[in-house]
């Protein structure tokens, strides 16, 4: 077991600062809850400190400033962590390209991604799927309206992610993701 260093604490502080005004799709949950959950999943699944830091910051470039944020992360945390975050980023421009185009690009980059990128990505998508299922249980079918891809597009994306991750060395989080996707498909 590796202990976390002050570098992790600095990343946590930066994540809190960058995402302080951001909420999850339910418009009630502070965004940092997602980042902490993804980080916990990475650490609980034998992730390294670099992977945990990348988990904390995995949406920073995409949602909080693009290239200037990338440069800040690179200067504070180095190339390895920046590369993991880049591998988990589907767009770094504003406005973002159309949803389907971004997701197809993300899936293509995931196919060639490093094990570290795949671990953080899997933790991210697992937490997103958990949150979606909870939202559906609370709000019913209207929850699909919160997602740019709607029901069909979102299920397509999750199924595509699952297929890519199934070609990789086994990861404990994969079985849970598979189970949640099954529940999402069956949700009525």
Q: What is the tens place of the pLDDT at every residue in 88-121?
A: 999 998 888 999 999 999 999 999 999 999 999 9
Report the pLDDT averaged over residues 170-177. Answer: 89
User: Is the confidence at residue 155, as pLDDT, over 80?
Assistant: yes
Match domain 6-186 to its CATH number in 1.10.3210.10, 3.40.50.10540, 3.90.380.10, 3.10.690.10: 1.10.3210.10
Cβ within 8 Å of residue 47, ≥6 positions away? 55, 119, 120, 123
Angle between helices 99-111 and 150-166 (to 10 degrees): 10
Please list the residues that pair with 23 across neighbouring strands: 30
Cβ within 8 Å of residue 56, ≥6 positions away? 8, 11, 12, 14, 15, 35, 36, 38, 39
**pLDDT on residue 171:** 80
pTM (2 d.p.): 0.95
Give the Cα separation of 147 and 151 in Å (integer). 8
User: Is the confidence at residue 170, as pLDDT, over 80?
Assistant: no
User: Is the confidence at residue 35, as pLDDT, over 90?
Assistant: yes
**pLDDT on residue 188:** 66
Nearest CA-CA partner of 165 in 104, 117, 127: 117
């Amino acid at each position: 077991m590796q202990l976390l260093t002050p570098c992790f604490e600095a990343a946590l502080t930066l994540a809190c600062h960058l995402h302080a005004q951001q909420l999850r799709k339910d418009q009630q949950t502070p965004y940092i809850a997602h980042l902490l959950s993804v980080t916990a999943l990475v650490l609980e699944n034998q992730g390294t400190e670099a992977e945990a830091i990348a988990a904390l910051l995995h949406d920073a470039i995409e949602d909080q400033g693009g290239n200037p944020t990338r440069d800040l992360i690179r200067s504070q945390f180095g190339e390895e962590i920046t590369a993991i975050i880049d591998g988990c980023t589907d767009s770094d421009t504003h406005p973002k390209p159309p949803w389907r185009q971004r997701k197809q690009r993300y899936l293509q980059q995931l196919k060639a991604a490093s094990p570290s990128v795949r671990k953080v990505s899997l933790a991210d998508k697992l937490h997103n799927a958990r949150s979606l299922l909870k939202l559906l249980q609370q709000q019913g079918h209207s929850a699909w309206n919160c997602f740019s891809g709607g029901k069909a597009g979102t299920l397509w994306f999750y199924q595509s992610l699952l297929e890519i991750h199934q070609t990789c060395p086994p990861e404990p989080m994969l079985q849970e993701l598979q189970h949640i996707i099954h529940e999402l498909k069956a949700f009525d």
